[in-house]
Chain A
Amino acid sequence: MTNLQSLDLFWPELIITVVILTALIVDLCIEKSKSDVVGWVLVIGLLITAIAIWNQDKTTTTLFTDMIVLDPFATFFKLLIILSTLLVAVVSWQNNELDEYRKGEYFTLLGILVLGLFLMASSIDLIMVYISIEVVSIMSFILAGYLKLDTRSNEAGLKYVVYGAFSSGIMLFGLSILFGLTGSTNYFIIQKSLAGLDGSASAALVMALLMILAGFGYKISAVPFHFWTPDVYEGAPTTITAYLSVAPKAAGFAIIIRFFHQVFADGGALADAESLSMTDVPWPEIIGILAVATMTLGNLVAIQQESIKRMLAYSSVAHAGYMMLALPVLSIQTVYAIMVYLVMYLFMNLGAFFVVITVKNKTGGETFDDYRGLGWEMPFIGVVMTLFMLSLTGLPPTAGFIGKFYIFSALISGGSQYYWLAIVGGINSVISLYYYFHVVKVMFLEGERKETLVQPPEVMSGVLLATAIPVFLFGIYWNPVVNWVQNSLIFYVQTM
């Protein structure tokens, strides 16, 4: 579709652009103490965007001369991103860490981040892939370092920049090799050209793939590209940590799935991909081992953490590992499973971080000591946190169990060579039980009954309920989720 025609189908992104500009201008006109108003601009803007996406034509097509694509798969991720941004934006008003700062830029940057994530979910061109990842990364750098008076936040921002620049450099190098091999930046042309390559190109292809994998792996914080995660997650404002652990990760998975599924696997399973089998490298096994390493490392290191925020950072590394488990199979079932997992993960992970924010607002700390006896003092927080921990462990009847169940099912339906991944994944969730329930233990098993109970602020209670109810409900009746995912499992495929 030409550029002008494309604008017709580009409404949601255009609305966000307007929202960003409005937010900037509004921020100029108001004083610091009232900068929360910018948040309203963002929230309302996002709601309008969501409505625009919802009512969009359900056609699948490419936009801007094959730069990005509009298909139900991208729409699914866009809605997921909006949902998490809305929750995070609402909590940002309540986050005491941000009180000393002007929040105008904060909300504006969040808006730009959403735009970048939208593009990530829909790119089908190497240049667009790179640009969208960079938009997201640069906004994340600034937001991670937003607490400029806090040295840990500065450290987080700086570390993020260094790792981010390095890994996107490597990825760019990989993309350029791919371009050199195929002569195009378009996914579909690359796919066709790859099929025509002979064995002499295999070394270059392996190099390109490894480098691209590094870039993508960095985005979803997969081992061994995860080193930035704990420090960034610990130093960043907790709202941003929550956001980084969900939205960019979802978009990262969208980009990985689209890239491998459409460029290499031609919509089939990864193991059967012809263009990959010519390289003589066991790609499914490599990705499988990376997934196992990611979740095992995430879980084992999480056990040793003193700070709950840092523990959740490692736990989100582990969860990236669970989702990666399904990648080696990369059949349509596994894409389905990863998407189901992402929906479940969104609610439980955001919820857990929101509890951390609520507790930090009250006690000023985020270590296990600050949670001692909390369940007796703030029963609502205690019960909700227990639910999130149950769900993150993957115990029924919670959403986390359903997510894991779908991942394991996808693995087992993939054939007996993948069973070991399911068993390792299961054993990893047993390991994770230990540290998740450490939180429950300090909250309830220690401390005594208190006469006066503390209730969190109403807005926080509302947001916590908005995350806790789906976590419980989707553990019992998740038909709506799977139907939504099922209907979103349509990729744009170019027939040439």
Chain B
Amino acid sequence: MEHILSWLVWLPIIGMVVITVIPRSQEDIIKKVAAFFTGVQLLFSILLWKNFDSANGSMQFMERAEWIPSFNISYILGVDGLSLPMVILTSLLCFIGVFVSWNITKAVKGYFALYLLLDTGLIGVFLALDFFLFYIFWEVVLLPMYFLIGMWGGPQREYAAIKFFLYTLFGSVLMLVGIIGLYFTCGKTFDILLLMETAPDALKNELWWGMSAIKVIWVLLFIGFAIKVPIFPFHTWLPLAHVEAPTAISVILAGVLLKLGVYGILRINYGLMPDAVWWFAGSLAFLGLINVIWGGLCALAQTDLKKLVAYSSINHMGYALLGMAAVIAAGSINGGDLKAAQAGLSGAVFQMFNHGTISAMLFILVGVIYDRAHHRDIEGFGGLANQMPIYAGITALAFFAGLGLPGLSGFISEFMCLIGAFPVFKAIVIASTIGILLNAAYFLWAFQRIFFGELNEKYSDLPEINRLELFTLIPLAVITLFFGIYPRPYLDLIKATMDVIIENVVFVANFASM
């Protein structure tokens, strides 16, 4: 248990090194090695979860080592209730992703080597507590993603890959300026925990270009994170990248990559600049509303099933933004409604996890039908319910989870986000219910067009979903069902940390009003 976090981060890299020494003709062994290392990683993260003290809201299993003393850069890892679910989600989806990519035939060795590198980058972002280290992991994600989309993707893959790369790098360099700005204004340190203590005071009287430094740095970091979430109007890379990526990579993109942005906002923006939360919460809620409506409308207009799922991600992340904005409900000027703040924030963090599992299911399901029919045109199917009853059943579950049907996990988290935000942002929450309607409309309509009606003759011998595909889907379906009925374990796990975040934000407000 001593260095469990380091093991989690570096296991995939060890796997990558192992894969690079295997001859490229041994494709089967390469796949098994990838499955082994992601499997061990999943076991480690479950072990971490078992040993995690959920009553403690601060960092646990901390690791600390000097790296570049002359610039005060250290290697710091730690886990709390915000990052733990994300680590579990990442290792789960990376493990499942290996089996989703089992049918890859082109350059198997390169694919899995890059895949494991991507895995390290993702876990690293969630565990890093040194801002410099965080940035390194944040950027390490980009390169394997570029190749995975660009080499194994669909027809427009090259354009999609470079667009993704350019967009995120644009956000990253702004973030880098913000990070260095924080370093020099807050006592020359990259230690995030230390910055959480020093930054609010150090930034208070600092002016950048005649504006408060808090706001400038907030915006610089926020743009970097918003591109990943993605928040309107920075979302245009997403549909393209998600559609062109191979199935497993779409799963990782939607399931984990989008969470990096939300995680970054909660960890960095909320943690380091709590004053600015008050200034920005209204805009955040409004951006959330736009995401909900815009994502819903775009999804409704799609004829490509994968694009529909991609736009539904934009829609779903909107709820998380609304929930995050609800934190300010706990402030005394908003009536000190601590319950609403807790509901909103926990809802947002729960939504991150639920969207991770649900969208992963959706993308795997799209991949299943694409592998058989070689197209994804919603209009091109029809009557598949009789042809592929098991497939239709699981798709129904995933679609219903996506549209927020009570009894499935998506409903709980969306509902929590909305009731949390309601006391402060009444108009926005009421308006966002249009999004829920859209949500139901596009999923149900798509379901109807694909599975009901007359069977398209072309597909009268379409094979049913196979065992390997079921193996990748069932764990996710079970999680969706379980948390839909009994979300307590998850909410208990994160509660202490959520309270710390809320207290951090509210403390500043009371302090400022004094």
B135–A396 touching, CB < 8 Å: yes
Interface magnitude class on chain B: 35 or more
Main secondary structure of the interface of B (DSSP, over half): helix
Considering the complex of A and B, which 8 residue pairs feature the smallest CB-CB distances, nearest first?
Answer: A426-B173, A396-B136, A412-B180, A445-B150, A396-B139, A430-B170, A416-B208, A430-B169
Chain A residues whose CB sits within 8 angstroms of the CB of B140 once the complex forms: 396-397
Does B481 count as interface, using CB distance less than 8 angstroms?
Answer: no
Find chain A residues with CB under 8 A from B180 CB: 405, 408-409, 412, 422
Residue of B170, B183, B208 most packed against chain A (CB within 10 A): B170
A427 CA to B136 CA in the complex, in Å?
A: 18
A226 within 8 A of B: no
Contact B166 A426 (CB under 8 A): no
Q: Counting chain B CB atoms within 10 Å of each CB, which of A396, A401, A441, A444 scores highest?
A: A396
Nearest neighbor of A485 in chain B, beta-carbon distance: B70
Q: Which residues of the partner chain A approach B69 to less than 8 Å between Cβ atoms?
A: 479
Least CB distance from B109 to A in Å reads 10
One of B68, B165, B169, B209 near A419 (C-beta < 8 A): B209
B184 / chain A contacts, CB cutoff of 8 Å: 409, 412-413
Interface string of A442-476 (1 = CB under 8 A from B): 00110001000000000000000000000000000
* A422: B residues at CB distance < 8 A: 177, 180
Bound CA span A401–B173, Å: 11
Whether A437 sits at the interface, judged by CB under 8 Å, is: yes
State which residues 361-408 of A face B: CB under 8 Å. 390, 395-397, 401, 405, 408
Q: Indicate with 1 or 0, residue by residue over A428-439, a CB within 8 angstroms of chain B CB atoms.
A: 011001100100
Question: Of A396, A429, A437, A486, which one neighbours B146 at CB under 8 angstroms?
Answer: A437
- Pair A430/B142 contact, Cβ less than 8 Å: no
Given A427-B170, A430-B169, are A419 and B146 neighbors across the interface (CB < 8 Å)? no
Is B377 positioned at the interface, with any CB of A under 8 Å from its CB? Answer: no
Contacts of B71 in A (CB 8 A): 409, 482
Which A residues are CB-close (under 8 A) to B106? 449
- CB–CB B166/A445 < 8 A: no
With the chains together, A416 CA to B216 CA distance in Å? 11
Partner of B209 from A396, A401, A412, A416 at Cβ < 8 Å: A416
A395-B139, A413-B184 known; A449 and B176 CB under 8 Å? no
Task: State which residues 127-157 of B face A: CB under 8 Å.
Answer: 135-136, 139-140, 142-143, 146-147, 150-151, 157
Looking across the interface, which residue of chain B has its beta carbon closest to that of A445? Answer: B150
Q: How far apart are the CA atoms of A352 and B234 in the complex, in Å?
A: 33
Is A479 touching B70 in the complex (CB atoms < 8 A)?
yes
**Does A228 interact with chain B (Cβ within 8 Å)?**
no
Asked if residues A395 and B142 are in contact (CB atoms below 8 Å), the reply is yes
Is the CB of A423 closer than 8 A to any CB of chain B?
yes
What is the number of residues of chain A that contact chain B, defined by CB distance less than 8 Å? 31
In the complex the two chains form, is B142's CB within 8 Å of A419's CB? no
Residue on B nearest A483 in the bound complex, by CB? B70
- Complex CA distance for A478 and B73, rounded to whole angstroms: 11
CB–CB B166/A433 < 8 A: yes
A392 to B: closest C-beta gap in Å: 13
Alpha-carbon gap, A268 to B165, bound state (A)? 40
Q: Which residue of A lies closest to B157 (CB)?
A: A445
Q: Contacting A479 at CB < 8 Å: which of B68, B165, B166, B169?
A: B68
B70–A419 CB distance below 8 A: no
Q: Give the nearest-CB partner of B171 in chain A.
A: A430
- Complex formed: what's the CA distance from A408 to B166 in Å? 20
Further pairs besides A429-B169, A477-B67, A482-B68: 13, Cβ < 8 Å: A396-B139, A412-B177, A412-B180, A413-B184, A416-B209, A426-B176, A437-B165, A441-B158, A441-B162, A444-B150, A479-B69, A482-B70, A486-B70
Which residues in B have their C-beta under 8 angstroms from that of A409?
A: 71, 180, 183-184
**CB distance A423 to B177 under 8 Å?**
yes
Residues from chain A with a CB closer than 8 A to the CB of B169 are: 395, 429-430, 433
Q: Decide if B177 touches A434 in the complex (CB within 8 Å).
A: no
Name 9 A/B residue pairs within 8 A (Cβ), A-sorted. Answer: A405-B176, A408-B176, A412-B180, A416-B207, A430-B173, A437-B162, A437-B165, A444-B151, A477-B68
For B150, the closest partner residue in chain A by CB is: A445
What's the nearest-Cβ distance from chain B to residue A301, in Å? 18
Determine if A430 and B177 form an interchain contact, defined as CB atoms under 8 angstroms apart: no
Min CB gap A452→B, angstroms: 13
Q: Which residue of B lies closest to A486 (CB)?
A: B70
Query: With the chains together, A441 CA to B151 CA distance in Å?
Result: 9
Give the docked Cα–Cα distance between A408 and B140 (Å).
Answer: 20
A441 CB contacts on chain B under 8 angstroms? 150, 158, 162
Is there an interface contact between B176 and A433, defined as CB atoms closer than 8 Å?
no
Contacts of A413 in B (CB 8 A): 184
Determine if A445 and B161 form an interchain contact, defined as CB atoms under 8 angstroms apart: yes
Assuming the contacts A395-B139, A412-B181, A479-B68, asked whether A426 and B174 have C-beta atoms less than 8 A apart, the reply is yes
Q: Which of A405, A413, A419, A430 has the most CB of B within 10 A?
A: A430
- Asked if B431 lies at the interface with its beta carbon under 8 angstroms from chain A, I say no
B107 at interface, CB cutoff 8 A: yes
Nearest A-chain residue to B132, judged by Cβ = A405
- How near does chain B come to A431, taking the closest CB pair, in angstroms? 9
Task: A412 to B220: give the CA distance in the assembly, Å.
Answer: 14
What residues on A are CB-neighbors of B139 within 8 Å? 395-396, 401
Q: Is the CB of B150 within 8 A of A419?
A: no
Contact present for B176 and A444 (CB under 8 Å) = no
Which residues of B are found within 8 Å of A405, using beta-carbon distances?
176, 180
Q: Is A395 a contact of B147 with CB atoms below 8 Å?
A: no
Q: Given the complex of chains A and B, what is the CA–CA distance between A441 and B158 in angstroms?
A: 8
Q: Is the CB of B151 within 8 A of A419?
A: no
1/0 per residue, CB under 8 A from A, across B308-349: the answer is 000000000000000000000000000000000000000000
Residue interface bits B69-83, CB-to-A below 8 A is 1, else 0: 111000000000000
Judge whether A444 and B70 touch: CB under 8 Å: no
- B177 near A419 with CB under 8 A, answer yes
Within 153-212 of B, Cβ neighbours of A (below 8 Å) are at 157-158, 161-162, 165-166, 169-170, 173-174, 176-177, 180-181, 183-184, 207-209
